[in-house]
A and B are shown apart, each in its own frame.
Chain A
Amino acid sequence: MVDLSVHLAGVTLKNPIIPASGTFGYGREFADTYDLDILGAFSWKGTTRDPRPGNPQPRIAETASGMLNAVGLQNPGMEAVLREEVPWIAEHFHGPVIANVCGFSLEEYAENCRALEDAEQVKILEVNISCPNVHAGGKNFGSDPKSAAAVTRAVRAATKKPVFLKLSPNVTDIAEIARACADEGADGLCLINTLLGMRIDLNTKRPLLANRTGGLSGPAVFPVAVRMVWDVYEAVPKLPIIGCGGVDSAGAAAEMLLAGASAVEVGAANLRDPWACKTIIEDLPGVCQRLGVDKISDLTGGAHHGE
Chain B
Amino acid sequence: MSLIVDKVSYKYSTGTAYEVTALDEVSLEIKDGEFIGIIGHTGSGKSTLVQHLNGILKATSGTVYYNGQDIYDKDYDLKDLRTRVGMVFQYPEHQLFETTVFEDVEFGPKNQGLDEKEVAERAYDALQRVGFPEEYYDQSPFDLSGGQKRRAAIAGVLAMKPSVLILDEPTAGLDPKGRNEILDMIRSMHEKSHITIILVSHSMEDVANYVDRIIVMNDAKVFLDGTPKEVFAHSKDLEAIGLAVPEVTYLMLELKEMGWDVDTTVTTVEEARKEILRAYEVKKSASK
Pairing of A with B: no
